Structure 1
C-alpha cells in the first residue's frame, strides 16, 4: 500500500507515477542527445498538464464537498485526483507539444510512451494483486478499556472504514473532524479508529482536548495491523465492503471529498 523511503512515506500509486515520470525523463534525455533535441522541459510540461487536469476533474466530480470551503480546491494534500482526467490532460498536452514543435516529435513520443507504458503495466499489476488478496485481517486488538475485540466482530456484516492514526501526526489531527462527522452521518458504516503505538491515557487526553467522541477506538501497540495491510505511513484509511473485502485505501489526510470517494466504493455493485 505504501513504501518507506527513509523518513518519507509514499502511497504506492504515487510512487509508480513518480517512477514513470523519472523514466520518461531518462528516455527523453537519452533520445534528446541522439536527435539533438532536448525534451526534458516538454516531459515536465506533460506531467504538469496531467496533474492540473486530474485535480480539476476531481474537484468537478466532488464540487458539493468543496462549495463551502473553496480554498480546499488548491489544497492537494487530500490526494484528490482523477486518473481519467489526468490521462486526458497528458494526452492534450502531448498533442499540443507535438503540433507546435515538430522537431521533438520522435524523442518526445518515445519518452512519453515509455512513461505511460511503465505506469500502465505496474499500476495494472498492483491492482490485480491487491484485488486477489484484500481480506479483513484476522486480528484482535484491545479497546481503550483494554478489552480485546476481533476486527471481524466489529464489522457484523456492515461496511467498515478503518483509520490508522496517532496523536502526534498532524495530518491525522487535521482529518479527524471529517471522520468524526462521517461516523455520525453514516450509521450504516462502521468507523474504526486504530491508534498506532500510544498508551490509552494519551489517546483519552487527545480526544478530550479536541472534543471528539469516537465510538470504536482500538490500540495497535505493536503495529500488527499496519504490517498486515502494508502501511508505512500515517494516516492510512482502509475501506472494506460488507463482505470484509478491501475495496479502497487512502494514505494521507482525508478531506470530505476524498472520504466521499472512498465511501462510494463501499456501495454494492448494481446488477
Structure 2
C-alpha cells in the first residue's frame, strides 16, 4: 500500500490539492485588485460542504446497505463519497455566497478547478503505479481442512482478498458484510486470509460469531501481508480475473463500500447478479 509512514498517500494528496486550490484562489483575487482573504476562506467552506454533500449522496445511493448496519454510516473512511454530487454542491455554494461579491467568484472557481484536476491526475497516476507493481501473489497457504492452497490457483474469477485477524476490532466488525456480499456475488471469490493466528483460534472465532465464510485461509507467517505491502489490518484488495490489482481499501470496509467497489471494478459480474435477483 502506498503511504507516507502511517498516513495513506491519498490523504496527503487531498491536503496538497486543497492547499494549491486555496493558493490559486488567493493569488487570482489579489491580481484582480481585490485585497481580500475571503477567497481562501470561501474555497475551504465550499470544500467542506462539498464533502458533506458527497457523503450524503453516497448514503442515499446505498441506503439499503446502510439501513442493515446503521452504525456504518459514521465510518467516513470507507471511501463512501459521490464526487460529482460534492463538486456540484461546492459550485452551487460558491455561486450563492458570491451573489453580492462577483469579484470573488472566478478566482474561487478557478482554484477549485485546479484542485480537482490535480486530484484526478495524481490519483490516477498513483493507482496505475500501484497496479503495475502489485499482482495476486503466488503464496502457499492452507485452508481450515489442513489442505495446501496456492493463492494463484484462484485466478480466472474476480478476487476480493481480505487480510484480517480475530484480535482486530475493525476486522471483526466487517466480517458480516463479507459473509452477506459473498453470498450475493457467487461469481467473485472472497478470500479471507488470516494473518498469524492458529487454526484453533480461527475456528473458535468463526463459531462464536456464527460466520459461514467459504474461503478462509491460514497465513501463520503473514507472508501475504508482506507480499502486497499492506501497512495494517484490515486491508482489502480487489483483483481482476487475471490476478491484476484493481483497487485497495485500507481499514474497515462497510457493506456499501464493498458493493460499490465490486460494481465499479467488476461491472459485468455485478450486472449478472442484478439480473438474477
| TM more than 0.5 | yes
Alpha-carbon separation, structure 2, partners of 1:70 and 1:172: 17
CA contact (8 A) 2:143 2:149 kept: yes
* Corresponding position of 2:186: 187
Report the CA distance between 1:219 and its aligned residue: 3.1
CA contact (8 A) 2:2 2:130 kept: no
Aligned to 1:231: 230
2:209 maps to 210
Instruction: Kindly state the Cα deviation for residue 185 of structure 1 after the two structures are TM-superposed.
Output: 3.5
Q: What does residue 254 of structure 2 align with?
A: 255
Give the Cα–Cα distance (whole angstroms) in 2 for the partners of residues 119 and 45 of structure 1: 18
Give per-residue Cα distances to partners, 1:52-110, cap 9 Å, x unaligned. Answer: 22112222332332344556545424331122223323333333344443353465345
Is 2:218 the counterpart of 1:219? yes
Who is 1:120 aligned against? Answer: 120
**Please, which runs of 5 or more residues in structure 2 have no aligned partner?**
272-277
Deviations along 1:197-229, one digit per CA (max 9) or x if unpaired, are 333343333223322232222233444323333
What do the CA deviations read for 1:102-155 (whole angstroms, capped 9, x no partner)? 3534653454344223213211212333454553222222334654321121x1
Distance 1:204 1:121 in 2: 45
- Residue 174 (1) aligns with residue 163 (2): no
* 1:174 CA drift (Å): 0.8
Instruction: Structure 1 unaligned segments of length 5 or more: list them.
Output: none
CA contact (8 A) 2:29 2:35 kept: yes
TM-score, normalization by structure 2 = 0.79
Output the CA distance in 2 between the equivalents of 1:185 and 1:124. Answer: 30
User: For structure 1, which segment, 250-259 or 129-138, has the greater mean C-alpha deviation from structure 2 after superposition?
Assistant: 129-138
Given that 1:240 and 1:266 are in contact with CA atoms closer than 8 Å, whether structure 2 keeps it comes out as no
Separation (CA, whole Å) in 2 of partners of 1:25 and 1:99: 20
After superposition, the Cα gap between the structure-2 partners of 1:100 and 1:56, relative to the gap in structure 1 and judged at 3 Å, is: farther
The DSSP-based 3-state class of the residue aligned with 1:81 is coil
Paired with 1:185 and 1:72, the residues of 2 have a C-alpha distance of: 19
Aligned residues: 266
Residues 26/194 of structure 1: CA separation in 2 closer, same or farther (3 Å cut): farther
Structure 1 runs (4+) greater than 6 angstroms displaced: 29-34
